Structure 1
Amino acid sequence: MGEAEEDSNARLPHQGLRAMGKRRDLGADLGGDGLGVFLTSLAEDFRGWKGVRTWHSLGCDLTLSAEHRHGGHVQLMWGIHDRAPSEEWHFPTTTVHAAGEDMRNLAAEVHTLIAGRREVAERGRLTT
């Protein structure tokens, strides 16, 4: 599947952040290699696991690490990365979710997001 790229500027004034460069449609990357499946597997293992589980998008521009923490929580470490070969920037963030229902809800929301992106992409192909 081809990538849609265009020049764009992004500004987050409250955080004092500004980014310029190519904007990509990550719809194929997100659905193509199982982000929803990965999150669902984390939700199904609500009793916990040892170590860190990892996932990355096809182009490695989105990464996710998951660790089951004491107290029944899952710590997710998300990373958005510049593409190789430049790899000039990286934006990490961490979210914490209750194991079980909270993780199931997150997985369901990601499945909905990915399905919606596919539907929009399909409609775009039909009209062009």
Structure 2
Amino acid sequence: MDTATSAGPQVTTLPVFLDELAAGWAGWPGVRTWRSLGGQLALDARHDGRGHVTLGVTLRRPGHDADDTGWSARCVFLLEAGEETTRFARDLGALLEA
């Protein structure tokens, strides 16, 4: 899956987005986001500046955008910045390659 991120108009894969989060273990300002081209999957990440990353994952009904009233499901994960985020990025990348 490829899409533009909040970091700019470039197109990036989900594994690359997650690797960039892991590389930013020291923190970043604001929210970093990633969306699949169809908008069914969206991620948003915030670094609290104290060693944790909050990663929100939202699934949406296929064929509908974020402004639609169709169904959606959201889960928020708290990851330790650094090793845990790096391991998450590596494991998800391996899963997507399978």
> Displaced runs of 4+ in structure 1, greater than 3 A?
none
Tell me which of the two structures has the higher relative contact order, counting C-alpha pairs closer than 8 angstroms and 6 or more residues apart: 2
Gaps of 5+ in 2: 3-10
2:32 paired residue number: 53
TM-score by length of 2: 0.81
1:83 paired residue number: 62
Cα deviation per residue 1:65-86 (whole Å; 9 max; x = unaligned)? 0000142100001100012348
Cα deviation per residue 1:40-78 (whole Å; 9 max; x = unaligned)? 000001000000000011211000000001421000011
TM-score by length of 1: 0.63
- After TM superposition, give the deviation of residue 33 of structure 1 in Å: 4.7
Going by fraction, where is strand more abundant, 1 or 2? Answer: 2
What CA distance in whole angstroms lies between the structure 2 residues aligned with 1:110 and 1:33? 15
Structure of larger gyration radius: 1
Report how many residues are paired.
87
Q: State yes or no: 1:106 paired with 2:85.
A: no
